[in-house]
Amino acid sequence: MMLGKIRVPMFFSLFLWAALWEIVGQSGASFIIPPLSVIFTRIAEIVPTASFAEALWITGKAFLLGNLIAIVAGVPLGVIMGRSVIADRIFLPWVNLFLSAPLTALVPVIMVIFGLGETTIVMTVVLFAVWIIVLDARAGVRNISPSLVEMARVFGANPWQAFGKIYIYAALPEILSGIRLGMIRAVKGVVIGQLLVSIIGFGRLFELYSSRFLMEHFWALLFVLFAFAFTLNEVLAWLERKVDYYAAARH
Amino acid sequence: MQTSNSTPALRADRQAGPAAARPARQAGPGPSSAVVVPSPSLLGQLLSHPLFLRLASVVIVFGAWEYAGRVPISPAFPTFLETMDALFGLIADGTLLQAFWITLQPLAIGLFASVVVGVTFGVTMGLNRLAEWFGAPVFIIAQSAPLAALIPILTFAYGIGLTSKVMTVCIMAMPVIVLNSLNAVRHTPASLLEMGRSFLGSRWQVIWKIVLPAAAPVIFAGLRLGCAAGFIGVILAELLITPTGIGDIITYNQSIAEYAKMYAAIFSIIVFSVLFIELIERLEVTLFRPEKRAAR
Amino acid sequence: MTAAQATASTVTEPRAIVEVEGVSKVYPGGTEALNHISLDFPEGQLTTLLGPSGCGKTTLLKIIAGLIPATAGQVQVDGKVVTGPGPERAFVFQDFALMPWASVLRNVAFGLELRGVARSEREAVAEKYIEQVGLKGFEKAYPHELSGGMRQRVGLARALTVNAKVLLMDEPFSAVDEQTRRKFQEDLLELVARERKTFIFVTHSIEEAVYVSDRIVLLSRRPSRVSQIVEPNIPRHDDPEDIRRDPVYLDTVEEIWQGLKKYLDEGV
């Protein structure tokens, strides 16, 4: 957007929204919308506290562990599906199904099996993240140019060399893309899991604030969470762009 | 389709990444040299026949479920057959139908609102730079944010009735619908726009006859994703706000340890959502994608 | 018809239906595409804009079409200054620009649809031109079912249907294979003879230009100016294939090639 001769980048509109929020908040129009400035002070208050650090630790642990499991289980499965027609035909309908199914409905199942603890959160993260990882790993393998495969054979590469030196790099952009999308879904998973379990991590904090109607603290926590999610997304996208430099030239 | 082009947030709703323009609908073998093809013996042919494999796939998964239930991997894990039995019971005595009726109300209202408002917003932002400048950042942030966390706030604002559940569906479904619509309109092929101008189309003619039909596939993809998100929303609403309908069956049976019925309810809602989304895809193909119709 | 007779028939100069006067085009960012081009296009003839890639011939064509504004100078078509697209000009696109969701019939009738012509009427006109370009029977087909050559015929039929005086064609045959391309060139000759329209044709192929044109305008490298105007004057032949072996044809191609080579050697 242009203001006269100056190009104003898109994200500047957020400042306008922030100003609007502040005005609405100060006017006291609705108790669920406290002024932005107060929310930011609360952020400064709660972030250094021990309970926040603990919640962050629990959430972070579950998030990372869940993603790790999803990657370790998902990438090989995707690769197998990409290379074997039989495996593909057997598993693909299920992967597609779980990709668009409301996985939230399965969280109660996880809760009754694994109890109301960290394990459930980890399993929820795995559940949310794994399907897109499988699908993208599969896509990466299927997209390996046949010419590269032929090249490997013509120059006498054995299967391990072919895989380690060629295929994995050829499929890497898609695999990384899948991992990134998986992490975004994992964020939603970890939040949903904690909301439903509500006695650990951020879920516990949310429960605490909402039961005492501490709207400002609630929003403060939300902002922190959203900021994490956004930053994570941007960092991963940046990483992906770094690896992607050769993605377009593969075919 | 390249991995590095789109913004990360917009890519978040392009689920299947670079390999398909439409998410999650890949079938059939890939480039032949990269795929292991089974031997052409009779057994091999039988084993790789699509129908057989589809059947085998279903049998394997349900069989594994049955086995896991019998082991049992957990006292809270009923077998497949037990769950099916409970399911038929719930259907037979009308409980399931009633529950769906209640659950689907906020879903239907929320999805309808999200689609109408979302597509309108998205298309407007696609056609008008100023609208895009104001609106897009909000939705881009919403796209990657865990919006489920907002549900307690909705409860504060709108109570525990139908309204807050409708709002839940809306906040979950709208961002992806809006962003897909925006994206679709912005990426109308330039030569089609030029063609419209060269044949003296007015701005409205170009929008109605060229931009919108060209944008339809991506908008529909957004609708599919939005509906999936809407289903998540309504289930979350039922589990977090107050259980009614299906949510009620799930939580009640969970509390009295009738796990078969609980699982049956979950099974039914998942099946329903999958069928619903499949229906949308069929609709899209019939209305807008003649080339895919031919391929069926 | 002998070469002498052919030359004689062009003595009475047809009027210039498109007049380009001092047209320059500078893109935001500073790229100068066209540099004070002045040119006339005679009515009823096929004039080709020929030049190396990136020399601005498509830019000039789109300025004439009214799709891009000129930075300086003006274009007059049939006496009126060009300010935008108009009903007396029709455009054929290099990448066909067909609507994939519409049938061939709808695509061809689209120009008339935008003008509000009634459905039965516009479909009748469209059907006539669909038959003329050799696609009879394909009215209900969709673009994805057609080959590249057939798609371009649809684009051509669409441009003919609106009955414009000037037909602007932007490298229309570059996206099809060689055999189809040759067939198209022959068909174009036939079309030009049959319709009393003015054709302005852009191509980078010398053979194609010499084959189809009454007049070839050579544009230099960017920022382009008119470097040469050639009138092939190839005698009429009964068999269109014979033109490709006619000495006048071959000499003209060679002459143009030598002229262009100079620019390629000077390199940029």
In a domain, C268, yes or no: yes
Say whether B235 and A104 touch across the interface (CB within 8 A): yes
| For A189, nearest residue in chain B (alpha carbons) | B146
Contact B196/C at CB under 8 A: yes
Nearest CA to CA, how far is B3 from chain A (Å)?
A: 7
Question: Among all residues of chain A, which has the CA nearest to that of B1?
Answer: A248
What is the C-alpha to C-alpha distance for residues C153 and C184, in angstroms, rounded to an integer?
A: 9
CB-nearest partner of B57 from A13, A89, A139: A89
**Is C218 a domain residue?**
yes
Q: Which domain holds residue C38?
A: 1-7+16-55+164-268
CATH number of B90-295: 1.10.3720.10
- CA-based torsion, B166, B172, B176, B178: positive or negative: positive
Contact: B192, C142; criterion CB under 8 Å: no
Query: What ipTM was predicted for this assembly?
Result: 0.80
- Residue ranges per structural domain of chain B: 39-77, 90-295
Round to whole Å and give the CA distance between B131 and A149.
48
The pTM (predicted TM-score) of the whole model is: 0.79
Which among C95, C114, C144 is the nearest to B191, CB-wise? C95
In CATH terms, the fold of domain A36-250 is MetI-like fold (1.10.3720)
Which residues in chain B have Cβ-Cβ distances shorter than 8 Å to C99? 192, 210, 213-214
Chain B residues within an 8 Å CB radius of C97: 189, 191-192, 194-195
Q: Is the N-terminal amide bond of B72 cis, ω within 30° of 0? A: yes
CB atoms within 10 A of CB A95: 22
Residue C252 lies in a domain: yes
Judged against a pLDDT cut of 70, whether residue B22 lies above it is answered with: no
Set of chain B residues whose Cβ sits within 8 Å of the Cβ of C91: 194-195, 198-199
Judged by a CB distance cut-off of 8 A, whether residue C27 touches chain B is: no
Quick check: B12 contacting A, CB < 8 Å? yes
Phi, psi of C266 (to 5 degrees): -65, -20
> Cβ contacts of residue B88 below 8 Å, gap of 6+?
none
Domain segments of chain A as ranges: 36-250
| Residue C205 counted as domain residue | yes
Is residue C227 in some structural domain? yes
B174 and A CB contact within 8 Å: no
- Identify which of C93, C100, C115 has the shortest CB distance to residue B195: C93
Cβ distance B199 to C114 less than 8 Å, yes or no, reads: yes
Task: For residue C43, give the CATH number of its domain.
Answer: 3.40.50.300
- Decide: C and A in contact? Rule: 3+ Cβ pairs under 8 Å: no
pLDDT one-digit tens code per residue, B31-77: 444 455 555 677 777 666 777 777 888 888 888 888 888 877 777 78
Per-residue pLDDT of chain C (268 residues; tens, 9 = 90+): 455 554 544 556 778 889 988 898 888 888 888 888 898 998 888 999 988 777 788 899 999 999 989 999 999 998 899 998 989 999 999 889 999 888 999 999 999 999 889 999 999 999 999 999 989 999 999 999 999 889 999 999 999 999 999 999 999 988 888 888 888 888 888 888 888 899 999 998 888 998 888 899 988 877 777 777 888 877 777 777 888 888 888 888 888 888 777 766 665 4
pLDDT band at B117 (very low <50, low <70, confident <90, very high): very high
Q: Is residue C66 part of a domain?
A: no
Taking the CB of residue A223, how many other CB atoms lie within 10 A of it? Answer: 16
When divided into structural domains, chain C yields a total of: 1
Q: Which residue has the higher pLDDT, B244 or C53?
A: B244
Judge whether B192 is closer than 8 Å to chain C, CB to CB: yes
Q: pLDDT digit string (tens) for B84-99? A: 888 898 888 888 888 8
